[in-house]
């Protein structure tokens, strides 16, 4: 019983820190978010931050993991609403690109995240995304929807295109204007993999 309560307290502490950091990173950016201010907002100490996340960078990774999970849920919902597996794949990819318009995602996931944690294509969550995309593409190839391509190669290229489109939108002076161009180009790239009779 005591062990369970302790685990609940640890989870509660982590949750408070992630919530406070997410607000601070979204409002001020990673560089300007003060660890003292965000731990005070959470009602905790810097020691709690170090104990649970190692440092501010570890806390950023936890915030990114949380946002990424939410983004995946939204992408799955877009896919589920589509009329066919192919349209579901397109809807999922375009939903990801469109989320680059959201200020929190722009700042934390697409601007500060890469600046602090390095190339997003190498983040652990991207490996899981790549595996899922590869499986989806292989299923579309097997169903005769897509040309007989190497599924992993196609997945890497399409995931890279979606990620770079999102990074471009986030860094643009006029993100909504860039979104339209990015989505149109992504559609053309993806549709080039369709069998001509589809």
Which string of DSSP letters, residue by residue, matches 87-118?
Answer: HHHHHHHHHHHHGGGSHHIIIIIIIIHHHHH-
Q: Show the tokens assigned to 175.
A: 């993100």
For the question of whether the overall pTM of this predicted structure is more than 0.75, the answer is yes
Listed residue (53, 60, 67, 63) closest to 31, CA to CA? 60
Residue 197 has what pLDDT? 56
Q: Are residues 41 and 75 part of one domain?
A: no
The Cα–Cα gap between 106 and 89 comes to: 23
State whether 37 and 111 are in the same domain: no
Ranges of residues in the chain with a pLDDT under 50 are 198
> What CATH number did the domain enclosing 145 receive?
1.10.357.10
pLDDT attached to residue 45: 86
The reported pLDDT for the residue numbered 28 is 94
- Interval 163-182: pLDDT, tens: 999 999 999 999 999 999 99
CA proximity to 133, closest of 151, 109, 147: 151
Q: Which structural domain, as residue segments, surrounds residue 146?
A: 66-192
Instruction: Say what the pLDDT of residue 194 is.
Output: 96
Domain match, 97 and 181 both: yes
A 10 A CB-CB count for 189 gives: 15
- Is the domain of 154 the same as that of 116? yes
Domain count, the chain: 2
Residues 19 and 74 in one domain: no
Residues 31 and 124 in one domain: no
């Amino acid at each position: 019983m005591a062990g369970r309560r302790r685990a609940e307290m640890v989870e509660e502490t982590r949750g408070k820190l992630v919530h406070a950091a997410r607000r601070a990173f979204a409002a001020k950016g990673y560089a300007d978010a003060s660890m003292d201010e965000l731990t005070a907002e959470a009602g905790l100490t810097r020691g709690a931050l170090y104990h649970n996340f190692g440092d501010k960078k570890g806390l950023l990774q936890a915030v990114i993991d949380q946002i990424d999970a939410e983004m995946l849920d939204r992408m799955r919902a877009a896919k589920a609403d589509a009329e066919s597996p192919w349209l579901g794949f397109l809807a999922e990819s375009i939903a990801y690109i469109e989320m680059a318009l959201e200020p929190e995602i722009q700042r934390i996931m697409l601007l500060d995240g890469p600046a602090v944690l390095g190339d997003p294509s190498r983040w652990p969550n991207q490996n899981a995304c790549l595996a899922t995309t590869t499986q989806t593409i292989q299923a579309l190839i097997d169903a005769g929807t897509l040309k007989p391509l190497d599924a992993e190669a196609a997945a890497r290229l399409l995931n890279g295109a979606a990620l770079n489109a999102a990074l471009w939108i986030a860094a643009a002076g006029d993100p909504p204007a860039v979104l339209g161009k990015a989505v149109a180009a992504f559609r053309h790239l993806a549709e080039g993999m369709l069998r001509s009779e589809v």
